[in-house]
Amino acid sequence: MRHAFRKLSLLLVLAAPAALSAQEATTYPFDGSFEDAAFAVENAIIGQGLVIDHVSHVGEMLNRTGADVGSDVTIFGAADVFLFCSAVLSRKVMEADPMNIVHCPYGIFVTDREGSVQIGYRNLPDGPMEEVEALLDSIAREAAGG
């Protein structure tokens, strides 16, 4: 059991840098305000019959802590990540490979950089996770108005 936990911990650490790469995300422009985009994402997620577990206010955190870490750079005017799960898809992908747990919960982000609002999600690996990525894409596209 301890070995399995170490293996999972190592996998999470190794997977984190790849997940942070900008090329690893799909984004769609939103023609409107950050608040309207966030509302559209929330409605699109709920419209799929899913429950939002948490909204991470990444932009607020970065702006609040910038001076504490010696930076005066404003990265986002606003940025939120909506975290949620699908019991049906999560069970399906984890039955195919229990290590797909590293992708759960799923997230859709909304960002505002210098007045340019985007909606997006982290790209997922080929295979069973493609069905989850299709869900993320449909939610992001719906919210973006496409």
Domains and CATH numbers, the chain: 25-144 (3.30.310.70)
Q: Give the tens place of pLDDT for each residue, 102-140.
A: 999 999 999 999 999 999 999 999 999 999 999 999 999
Phi, psi dihedral angles at 35 (to 5 degrees) = -60, -40
Q: Is the dihedral of CA 40, 46, 50, 55 positive or negative?
A: positive
pLDDT score at 6: 44
Helix (H) or strand (E) holding 46: helix 34-47
pLDDT at position 12 is 41
* Tokens coding 145: 């108005």
Residues of the chain with pLDDT under 70: 1-23
Helices first, then strands: H and E counts in the chain = 5, 5
